[in-house]
Structure 1
Amino acid sequence: MNLFRTKSIEDMRAMAKNSGMVKNLGAMDLILLGIGCVIGTGIFVLTGVAAAKYAGPAVMISFIISGLACAFAGLAYAEFASIVPSSGSAYTYTYASLGEFIAFLVGWNLILEYTVTSSAVASGWSGYVVGLLKSAGIELPHAFTLVPADGGIVNIPAILITMFLSLLLIRGTQESAKLNKILVFIKLVAVFIFLALAGPKVNPVNWEPFMPFGFSGIASGAAIVFFAYIGFDAVATSAEECRNPSRDLPIGIIGSLLVCTVLYVVVAGVLTGVVPYTELNNPEPVAFALRYIGYNIGSALVAVGAIAGITTVLLVLLYGQARIFFAMSRDGMVPAKVCKIHSRYKTPYLVTILGAILVSLIAGFAPIGLIAEMANIGTLSAFLIAAIGVLVLRFTKPDLPRSFKCPLIYLVSPLAVISCGYLMYNLPFDTWVRFFVWCAIGIFVYFSYSYKHSAIADHDEN
């Protein structure tokens, strides 16, 4: 069996050029797409949780460590994107460099990442909206806002927002990009309102002790807050809808990553500077911090910004999920019928609908709990493999045209592997167990279906 057959880069380029999707995204659209997915749940929720439970005020260092791991992987992504401007991000890159079997596992884990993360974010959106309505005197029945494990029947708001955004994505990426721009502006305003109000109230005493859980706490915090960064991968999934992907994708990936890292570190510093880290383990730490220092109106404004922020995260995650499904179905890894392009809207509507149903079922009926950590390990494994793949291509195909070349590739690639591997090592044991179970299911699917139906299968082989 030829498990490591690779897909022709020339064929990938031709397929991307003739995909049927409208190419209307520019570099600024991609930067905003990345910010739309990265600045959201992480900055409005994870900063407080990571500080209270893992790193204390040193959560700033946790964000820097995670940001560096993403930066190393992002440089590898950017070079791959300039070589293979095709939907599928790390899945497609691995198919071109390391072979089909490894690529399938990468894609399988990316599907897990996007589906689980989308479900968690949809549930978070529901919680924020229900809480905001409650503060306005409108209390929705628990039966229709909580999952059965939490005492309800179904989380209807989570299902509704997922379906609404999926319909918007079917209508077209340009329309979705316009909504994303508006919501990104609103949430960035909310972040700057927080910094303007809370910044002058920072008390350095709250940063003591700076490392209450030691360096191991910082490392564990970095592994947890990595969840906040996974959105930059979604930029790479937009390749076939870019006007000039070889130039714009590297700008979008690296630009959004730089902006988001700076914002995360600054917000984490201000947050732990105005509120003792021990009090930040709550679902709305940024709004809580403003109430803590007496800015109730500012708190309400930030809560609205948080809802806008979480909406953009869900929008981009659903977008990325559909593009991963699309790329895999086109290659025969999953049934090819689902990769149809809508005749009017020129979007992959069937995979968008399928993904929305899957996310809605999980968000509406299942408790998320620790499973959200699986998104981290799946993404980290994809980043690690992509970093290896870009180095392999430097040896196997050194003459490929590269409009962007990763600087210091023989240093950056190993650093990406080491940093992503280190963060994976620091994830809980239960997460590893679930990860191996998911991979085992994927291996069964590959050998029972995908290998035989692969678009590049050699039907003459024994």
Structure 2
Amino acid sequence: MNLFRTKSIEQMRAAAENSGMAKTLGAFDLILLGIGCVIGTGIFVLTGVAAAKYAGPAVTISFILSGLACALAGLAYAEFSSIVPASGSAYTYTYASLGEFIAFIVGWNLILEYTVTASAVASGWSGYVTGLLQSAGIEVSHALTHVPADGGIINVPAILITLLLTFFLIRGTQESTKLNRILVFIKLAAVFIFLLLAGPHVNTANWEPFMPFGASGIAAGAAIVFFAYIGFDAVATSAEECKNPSRDLPIGIIGSLVVCTALYVIVAGVLTGVVPYTELNNPEPVAFALRYIGYNLGSAVVGVGAIAGITTVLLVLLYGQARIFFAMSRDGMVPARVCKIHKRYHTPYIVTVLGAIFVSLIAGFAPIGLIAEMANIGTLSAFLVAAIGVMVLRITKPDVPRAFRCPLVWLIAPLAVLACGYLMAHLPLDTWIRFLVWCAFGCLVYFGYSYQHSTVGIQQRKIRKLKKLRTDA
């Protein structure tokens, strides 16, 4: 069995050119797309939890370490995106460099990442909106806002926001981008309002001790806050809708990472400087900090910004999930019928709807606390493989035109592998077990369906059959 057959870069470029999707995105749109997915749950929720339970004020270093791991992988992504301007992110890159079977497993894990993370974010959105309504004196049904495991029946708000954003995604990338722009500016305004109001109240005494949990606490914090960066690779999934992908994708990937890391570090520093880190273990640490120093109105404004922030995260995750599905279905890894492009809106509407249904079912009915940890390990594994793939492609295809070349690739790529591997090693054993079970299930899908239906495999079989006929003749 030829498990490591690769798809040619020329084939990928041709497929991208003839995908039928509208090319409407520029570099600025891609940076906002990255910010839309990265700045959300991490900055409005995870910062406080990581400070209180893992790293203390040194959570700023935890964010830098996670950001560095993403930046190292991001440089590899940027080079790949300039070579293979096709949807699919690390799945597509792996198909071109390491072969079909590894690419399938990477794509399988990316689908897990986007689906589980989107479900978690949809549930978080529901919690924020429910809390806001209750604080305004509006009665909310517990049965209709919680999953059965939490004493409810169904999480209706989580399902409704998922379906609403799916409607925008089907209507077109340009319309979704406009919505993303508006929501990104709202949440960035909320972040800057927080910094403006809280900055003057920073008390450096709150930064002592700076490392209450030691170096191991910083490392554990980095593994936890990595969740805050999940989704920056969604920028790479937009390749076939970019006006100039070879130029704009590297700018979008690196630009969004730089902006997001800077904001995370600054907000974490101000947050732990205003409130003692021991008091930050709550679901709304940024809003809590403003109430702590007496800005109740500012707290409400930041709460609205947090909802906008979480909405953009969900929007981009649903977008990225559909593009991964689209790329895999086009290659025959999943049924090709779901690969259709809408004649009017030029979007992959069937996979968008199917993905939204999966997300809605998980968010509406399933307890996702334990499953959400799998998003980290799935993403890290994809980053690790992408870093290996860029080195392999430097050896196997050194003459392929590269609009962007990863600087010091033989230093950067190995460091990316080590950084991602280090963070994976700090994840719980249960997470590893569930990850391996998911991969085993993926192997059953690959050998039961994908291997026989692979477009590359079908082409190779046709060529062999033609050669045999010629030989017999």
Correspondence 1:286 to 2:295:
no
| SS state at 1:238 partner | helix
Q: Which moved more, 1:222-231 or 1:153-162?
A: 222-231
| SS state at 1:370 partner | coil
Question: Aligned residue for 2:175?
Answer: 175
| SS state at 2:461 partner | coil
Correspondence 1:459 to 2:461:
yes
| Contact residue 184 and residue 309 of structure 1 kept, 8 A | yes
Question: Aligned residue for 1:249?
Answer: 249
Q: Output the CA distance in 2 between the equivalents of 1:279 and 1:153.
A: 32
Q: Output the CA distance in 2 between the equivalents of 1:248 and 1:78.
A: 10
Q: Output the CA distance in 2 between the equivalents of 1:209 and 1:444.
A: 51
Shift, 1:206, TM fit: 1.1
Question: Aligned residue for 1:363?
Answer: 363
Q: Output the CA distance in 2 between the equivalents of 1:246 and 1:336.
A: 27
Q: Output the CA distance in 2 between the equivalents of 1:343 and 1:421.
A: 43
| Contact residue 55 and residue 217 of structure 1 kept, 8 A | yes
Question: Aligned residue for 2:25?
Answer: 25
| SS state at 2:153 partner | coil
| Contact residue 194 and residue 290 of structure 1 kept, 8 A | yes
User: Which amino acid counterpart does residue 423 of structure 2 have in structure 1?
Assistant: L
| Contact residue 130 and residue 139 of structure 1 kept, 8 A | no
Give the fraction of aligned pairs with identical amino acids, expressed as a percent. Answer: 83
Correspondence 1:402 to 2:402:
yes
Q: Output the CA distance in 2 between the equivalents of 1:38 and 1:31.
A: 11
Q: Output the CA distance in 1 between the equivalents of 2:258 and 2:172.
A: 28
Shift, 1:217, TM fit: 1.0
Q: What is the CA RMSD across the aligned residues, in angstroms?
A: 0.9
Shift, 1:204, TM fit: 1.1
Question: Aligned residue for 2:376?
Answer: 376
Matches within 5 A, 1:119-268: 119-268=119-268
Question: Aligned residue for 2:413?
Answer: 413
Matches within 5 A, 1:54-65: 54-65=54-65
Q: What TM-score does the superposition give when structure 2 sets the normalisation length? A: 0.97
Question: Aligned residue for 2:429?
Answer: 429
Shift, 1:361, TM fit: 0.2
- Long gaps (5+) in structure 1: none
Correspondence 1:104 to 2:104:
yes
Post-superposition Cα deviations, 1:210-255, rounded to whole Å, max 9, x if no partner, equal 1111111111111111111112100000000000000000000000
User: Which amino acid counterpart does residue 459 of structure 1 have in structure 2?
Assistant: R
User: Which amino acid counterpart does residue 192 of structure 1 have in structure 2?
Assistant: F
Q: Output the CA distance in 1 between the equivalents of 2:74 and 2:162.
A: 28
| SS state at 2:22 partner | coil
Q: Output the CA distance in 1 between the equivalents of 2:49 and 2:438.
A: 27
The structure number with the bigger radius of gyration is 2
The number of residue pairs the alignment matches comes to: 462
Q: Output the CA distance in 1 between the equivalents of 2:440 and 2:231.
A: 26
Q: Output the CA distance in 2 between the equivalents of 1:367 and 1:294.
A: 35
User: Which amino acid counterpart does residue 461 of structure 2 have in structure 1?
Assistant: H
Question: Aligned residue for 2:468?
Answer: none
Q: Output the CA distance in 1 between the equivalents of 2:49 and 2:440.
A: 32
Q: Output the CA distance in 2 between the equivalents of 1:372 and 1:218.
A: 21
Q: Output the CA distance in 1 between the equivalents of 2:134 and 2:184.
A: 25
Question: Aligned residue for 1:75?
Answer: 75
User: Which amino acid counterpart does residue 117 of structure 1 have in structure 2?
Assistant: T
| SS state at 2:72 partner | helix
Question: Aligned residue for 2:16?
Answer: 16
Shift, 1:53, TM fit: 1.1
Q: Output the CA distance in 2 between the equivalents of 1:281 and 1:428.
A: 20
Shift, 1:94, TM fit: 0.1
Q: What TM-score does the superposition give when structure 1 sets the normalisation length? A: 0.99
Q: Output the CA distance in 1 between the equivalents of 2:360 and 2:370.
A: 18
Post-superposition Cα deviations, 1:166-189, rounded to whole Å, max 9, x if no partner, equal 011000000000000000000000
Q: Output the CA distance in 2 between the equivalents of 1:163 and 1:121.
A: 14
| SS state at 1:237 partner | helix
Shift, 1:370, TM fit: 2.1
User: Which amino acid counterpart does residue 431 of structure 2 have in structure 1?
Assistant: T
Shift, 1:459, TM fit: 3.0
User: Which amino acid counterpart does residue 300 of structure 1 have in structure 2?
Assistant: A
